[in-house]
Amino acid sequence: MSATQPVSDVLAGPGGTTPVSRPRRGRRIAWMPHVALTPSWIIAIVAYLGTMAATVELSFTRSKLLPVFEFVGWHQYVRLFRSDVWLISVGNLLLFGVLYVVGCLVIGSVLAILLDRRMRGEGLLRTIFLYPYALSFIVTGIVWRWILDPTLGIGRSFAAMGLPGLAINWLGSEQLAIYAVVVSGIWQSAGLVMALMLAGLRGVDGEIWKAARVDGIPVWRTYVSIIIPQTWPMVITSIVLLAMSVVKSYDLIVALTNGGPGVSTDVPAKFIIDYLFVRTNVALAMAASTVMLVVVVVVLMPWIYFQYMRKPGGGR
């Protein structure tokens, strides 16, 4: 992919090829990028890596309200993994993450394909579908809480129509509440995937369509086998964006269910915030954060390896 090339150049660093390829400018110039990047480096090392290190360190202490450096070994981790609330949170994150990403991709792609057929009122529909993404998750959560409230929302409407059987109390059920979170999340973010995919579809060479038509390939087949594979960068971009909102999913949960009923929709971010502030157990919160950090790093490792570490032997 030509689009990734400049990125890897930048990441290869200023100390890499620049001075060799331009010997005439002298050695001093090679320092300039370093100087320019120094503030960023300081911020990255102190603010990000430093706080990460502090997080890991604190997770081995007995800190309660304030950080104290009395070490208790793996105690917090033992407690963490004995806590079924934590295990439920992690399970919810996985379930929500998979359904949310897949749901957004499928619905967003289908919407994009429909719009790509140059249907009437495309501009209006595009705006409507993308509009929820302009809302914060807090607003999305509150709106869906009202919609799904059996005494206010669609449940009440069904009951008024004489169809009380259709009124499912999603938010009142331990089993269903997490799916309500998924549905509202997809409602919010599918439009983003649609916009990205539509841009990808429009970038496909028109000649391909002509060729497919000449060969008599059905439209759906053209999409599945030819067009969609060409929009792969858009799919990857969508997955990365969606995955980030999964890991930081907190606001949607707080606004929609606040972790309930019971603890059935708790997620790690909420667990951590609860213990950090309300339950004043800094060390346990830090242990949970460290586990999340490790998980994210483990998941990202293969991707980072393929993206940056592998010596470029060609494009992709």
Partner 1 sequence: MRHVRCALMGATFLLGLAALPIGPATTAHAAAPIKIEVMDWFTSSSETAALRELVAKVNAAGGDWQNVTIAGFDQGVAAAQSAAAGGNPPTALQFNGGKQFDDLAERGLLNTIDGVAAEQDWTKVLPPALGASISRDGHYYGVPIDDHGETWMYTSSAAFKKAGVAVPTTWDAFFPAMDKLKAAGITPIAWGGQDWQEFGAFYTVLLSKEGPDLYNAVFRDKKIDAVNSAAFKDAVDTFGKMRAYVDAGSPNRNWNDATAMLIKGTGGVQFMGDFAKGEFTVAHMKEGQDYGCYLGLGANDHYFMMSTDVLIMPKGKGADRIAAQDLLAKVAMSKDAQLAFNNAKGGVPARLDIDSTKLDPCARKGYEALKVPGNQLAGPEMVLSADLMGSLTDVVTRFWSSPTMTSDQFIEKFAAAIKDADD
Q: Which residues bind partner 1 (CB under 8 A)?
A: 62, 64-66, 79, 82, 85, 138, 142, 145, 149-152, 155, 169, 171-172, 174, 177, 250-251, 254-255, 257-264, 273-281, 284
* Residue closer to partner 1 (CB basis): 40 or 151: 151
CB of 260 to partner 1, least distance (A): 6
CB of 293 to partner 1, least distance (A): 20
* Residue closer to partner 1 (CB basis): 142 or 241: 142
Residue type, 165: G
CB of 104 to partner 1, least distance (A): 23
* Residue closer to partner 1 (CB basis): 104 or 171: 171
CB of 158 to partner 1, least distance (A): 12
* Residue closer to partner 1 (CB basis): 257 or 289: 257
CB of 44 to partner 1, least distance (A): 24
CB of 257 to partner 1, least distance (A): 6
* Residue closer to partner 1 (CB basis): 30 or 254: 254
CA torsion, ordered 236, 242, 244, 250, to nearest 10 deg: -170
What is the CB neighbour count within 10 angstroms for residue 168? 15
* Residue closer to partner 1 (CB basis): 241 or 263: 263
DSSP codes joined into one string, the chain: -GGGHHHHHHHH-TTSSHHHH-GGG-SGGGHHHHHHHHHHHHIIIIIIIIHHHHHHHHTTB--SSS----B-TTHHHHHHHH-HHHHHHHHHHHHHHHHHHHHHHHHHHHHHHHHHT--TTHHHHHHHHHGGGGS-HHHHHHHHHHHH-TTTSHHHHHHHTT-GGG---GGG-TTTHHHHHHHHHHHHHHHHHHHHHHHHHHTS-HHHHHHHHHTT--HHHHIIIIIHHHTHHHHHHHHHHHHHHHHT--HHHHHHTTT-STTTT--HHHHHHIIIIIT--HHHHHHHHHHHHHHHHHHHHHHHIIIIIS--SS--
* Residue closer to partner 1 (CB basis): 238 or 249: 249
CB of 188 to partner 1, least distance (A): 16
* Residue closer to partner 1 (CB basis): 129 or 271: 271
CB of 170 to partner 1, least distance (A): 10
| Total count of residues recorded for the chain | 316
Q: Is 168 left (phi over 0), alpha (psi -120 to 50) or beta?
A: beta
Q: How far apart are CA 152 and CA 249, in angstroms?
A: 26
